[in-house]
Chain A
Amino acid sequence: MDARLERILPRVLKPARYVGGEYQQIIKDKADVDLRMAFCFPDVYEIGMSNIGMRILYDVINRMPGVWCERVFAPWGDMDAEMRKAGIPLYALESGDPVSEFDVLGFSVGYEMAYPAVLNMLDLAGIPLRSADRPDLTPLVFAGGTSCCNPEPMAPFFDLMVVGEGEEVDCELLELFRHAQKSGWSKTQFLEAAAQIQGIYVPAFYEPEYNDDGTIKTVHTTHNAPARVTKRIIEDLDACPFPTHPIVPSTEIVHDRVNVELFRGCIRGCRFCQAGYVYRPVRPRKTETLIKQGIEALKSTGYQEATLLSLSSSDYRPLSDLCDGMLEYCEPRSISLSLPSLRADNFSMDIMSRLQKVRKGGLTFAPEAGTQRLRDAINKNVTEEDLLNSCRVAFEGGWNGVKLYFMLGLPTETDEDVLGIAELANRVLHCWRQYAKFKNRGVRITVSTSCFVPKPHSPFQWEAQVTMAEYQRKVNLLRENIRARNVTYNWHDPDTSFVEAVLSRGDRRIADVIEHVWRHGGNLEAWGDYFSFERWMNAFKDCGVDPYFYACRERGAEEIMPWEVIDMGVTRRHLRHERDQAYKAVLSPDCRKQCTACGALKLMTKGGCCDA
Chain B
Amino acid sequence: MPEKLRMRFSKTGRAIWLSHLDLMRTMQRAFLRAEYPLKYSEGFNPHAQISILLPLSVGVSSVCELMDFQLREDVDLTQLPERLTSVMPEGIVIHEAYPMENKSKFLKWLRVTARLEYDDRNLEEMAAGLNAFYAQDSIVITRKTKRGEGQTDIVPAIQTLNATAGERHVELEAMISAQEPTLNPDHLIAALRQLKPELAPDFAAFTRQEVYFENGEVFR
Name A residues whose Cβ lies closer than 8 Å to a Cβ of B: 1, 6-7, 9-10, 15-16, 18-23, 25, 248, 250-252, 299-304, 334, 358
Contact = CB atoms under 8 A, between A and B. Distances in A.
Interface stretch (B21-29, B93-101, B153-161): B21-29
Contact of A7 (B32, B40, B203): B203
Contact of B29 (A15, A252, A303): A303
7 contacts: A6-B205, A15-B58, A21-B13, A22-B90, A23-B33, A25-B90, A302-B31
Nearest to B15: A21
B22 A251 contact: yes
A10 B58 CA distance: 8
Given A1-B14, A6-B205, A10-B58, A16 B33 contact: no
Contacts, number: 70
A300 B168 CA distance: 43
Contacts of A20: 14, 90
B133 interface: no
B22 A252 contact: yes
Q: Closest 5 CB pairs between A and B? A: A302-B29, A21-B14, A302-B32, A21-B90, A302-B33
Contact of B91 (A21, A334, A358): A21
Contacts of A304: 29, 32
A15 B25 contact: no
Nearest to B13: A21
B176 to A, nearest CB: 20
A86 to B, nearest CB: 12
B141 interface: no
A15 B59 contact: yes
B48 to A, nearest CB: 10
B22 A16 contact: yes
Contacts of B33: 23, 299-302
A299 B203 CA distance: 41
Interface of B: 13-15, 17-19, 21-22, 25-26, 28-33, 40, 44, 46, 58-59, 87-91, 202-203, 205
Nearest to A10: B59
Nearest to A248: B29
A6 B59 CA distance: 9
Given A19-B14, A302-B33, A251 B58 contact: no
A334 B40 CA distance: 11
Q: Which of A10, A300, A303 has the most CB of B within 10 A?
A: A10
A23 B17 contact: no
A424 to B, nearest CB: 34
Nearest to A359: B45
Nearest to B46: A334
Given A9-B59, A23-B88, A16 B17 contact: yes
A424 B88 CA distance: 51
B31 A250 contact: no
Q: Which of A9, A20, A21, A334 has the most CB of B within 10 A?
A: A21
B28 A250 contact: no
B200 to A, nearest CB: 14
A244 to B, nearest CB: 13
Contacts of B21: 252
Given A1-B14, A251-B19, 7 more contacts: A7-B202, A16-B18, A16-B22, A252-B25, A302-B30, A334-B46, A358-B44
Nearest to A8: B203
A19 to B, nearest CB: 4
A9 B32 contact: no
Given A19-B17, A20-B14, A23-B89, A250 B22 contact: yes
Nearest to B91: A21
B119 to A, nearest CB: 10
A22 B18 CA distance: 10
Contacts of A6: 203, 205
B170 to A, nearest CB: 16
Contacts of B203: 6-7
A595 B17 CA distance: 53
Contacts of B22: 16, 250-252
A15 to B, nearest CB: 4
A112 B15 CA distance: 34
Nearest to B89: A23
A14 B127 CA distance: 33
A358 B43 CA distance: 12
Contacts of A301: 29, 33
Nearest to B31: A302
A21 B89 contact: yes
Contacts of A19: 14, 17
Nearest to B23: A250
Contacts of B25: 250, 252
Contacts of A22: 89-90
Contacts of A252: 21-22, 25
B19 A16 contact: yes
Contacts of B28: 302
A169 to B, nearest CB: 32
Contacts of A10: 58-59
A248 B28 CA distance: 12
Q: Which of B13, B17, B19, B203 has the most CB of A within 10 A?
A: B17
A15 B30 CA distance: 21
Contacts of A250: 15, 18, 22, 25-26, 89
Contacts of A9: 17, 59
Contacts of B59: 9-10, 15
A337 B40 CA distance: 20
Contacts of A302: 28-33, 87
Nearest to A19: B14
Contact of B17 (A15, A299, A300): A15
Contacts of A18: 17
Nearest to A298: B32
A360 B13 CA distance: 41
Contacts of B32: 302, 304
A15 B10 CA distance: 19
A248 B25 CA distance: 11
A1 B91 CA distance: 12
A18 B17 CA distance: 9
B57 to A, nearest CB: 9
Nearest to A23: B89
A105 B29 CA distance: 32
Contacts of A15: 17, 58-59
A612 B40 CA distance: 43
Contacts of A1: 13-14
Nearest to B34: A302
A409 to B, nearest CB: 42
A244 B220 CA distance: 38
A300 B33 CA distance: 6
B85 to A, nearest CB: 11
Contacts of B46: 334
Given A10-B58, A302-B33, A251 B205 contact: no
A6 B22 CA distance: 19
Contacts of B14: 1, 19-21
A25 B19 CA distance: 19
